[in-house]
């Protein structure tokens, strides 16, 4: 069963990674680079501070916690534990892999980029989903970041799917924890109407 899943994952990777051109390579490289998203992160930070005022520290610290947990779980635990080579390091398919820029570390399961972006998106969505419908667009951003990891040749589809799932669960867990602590400390709900 695992062999069939691995074969499917590699076949899907090679298909998706094989769809490229010089123009799309530049776009995917731009999407995958963290500094590209600094304006988005800055805008979200300003918006959170404007909305929550002095209580925004709860949200900001929680987002830092989401990133720390999802990143450490995927990169610090999963990658060395499972030891699944990135496609660009896998001798079976690396000659067929279209790598943009650099390959990165030896192991790729699961994607930290995917976990972090879905963790941020889900945490913010859980807090603001009732008041601001546009926050669901953060999932589109997270998906683009995750897909970019396939397109630049450094992750298999399963790497990004599991990474995204870990991020989503981490975002939810940190949201629940923050909501409980905030309510016990402030005696009011974290989600504001």
Residue 46's Cβ-count burial label (10 Å; 0-12, 13-18, 19+) is exposed
Cα–Cα distance measured from residue 62 to residue 151, given in angstroms and rounded to the nearest whole number: 30
Cα–Cα distance measured from residue 64 to residue 54, given in angstroms and rounded to the nearest whole number: 17
Backbone φ and ψ for 19, nearest 5 degrees, come out as -90, 95
| Per-residue model confidence (pLDDT) at position 101 | 83
| Per-residue model confidence (pLDDT) at position 117 | 97
pLDDT one digit per residue (tens) for the chain, 193 residues: 678 889 999 999 999 999 999 999 999 999 999 999 999 999 999 999 999 898 899 999 999 999 999 999 999 999 999 999 999 999 999 999 999 988 989 999 999 999 999 999 999 999 999 899 999 999 999 999 999 999 999 999 999 999 999 999 999 999 999 989 887 787 667 776 5
| Per-residue model confidence (pLDDT) at position 193 | 56
Q: What is the pTM of this model?
A: 0.93
Fill in the DSSP letter of residue 136: G
Other CB atoms closer than 10 Å to residue 175's CB: what's the count? 21
| Per-residue model confidence (pLDDT) at position 39 | 96
Distance of CA 104 to the CA centre of its chain: 16
**Which one, of 158, 143, 114, lies nearest residue 7 by Cα?**
158
| Per-residue model confidence (pLDDT) at position 183 | 79
| Angle CA 9–10–13, to nearest 5 | 85
- Find the farthest-apart pair of alpha carbons in the chain and give their distance in angstroms, rounded: 59
| Per-residue model confidence (pLDDT) at position 192 | 66
């Amino acid at each position: 069963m695992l062999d069939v899943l691995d074969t499917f994952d590699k076949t899907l990777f090679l298909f998706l990674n094989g769809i490229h051109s010089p123009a799309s390579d530049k776009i995917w490289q731009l999407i995958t680079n963290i500094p590209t998203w600094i304006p988005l992160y800055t805008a979200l930070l300003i918006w959170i501070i404007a909305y929550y005022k002095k209580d925004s520290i709860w949200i900001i610290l929680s987002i830092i916690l989401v990133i720390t947990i999802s990143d450490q779980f995927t990169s610090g635990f999963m990658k060395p534990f499972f030891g699944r080579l990135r496609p660009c390091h896998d001798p079976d398919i690396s000659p067929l892999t279209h790598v943009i820029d650099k390959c990165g570390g030896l192991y790729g399961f699961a994607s930290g980029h995917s976990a972090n972006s879905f963790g941020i998106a889900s945490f913010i969505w859980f807090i603001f989903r009732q008041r601001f419908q546009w926050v669901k667009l953060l999932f589109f951003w997270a998906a683009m970041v995750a897909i970019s990891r396939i397109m630049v040749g450094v992750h298999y589809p399963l790497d990004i799917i599991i990474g995204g799932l870990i991020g989503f669960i981490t975002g939810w867990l940190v949201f629940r924890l923050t909501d409980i602590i905030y309510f016990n400390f402030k005696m009011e709900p974290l989600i504001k109407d």
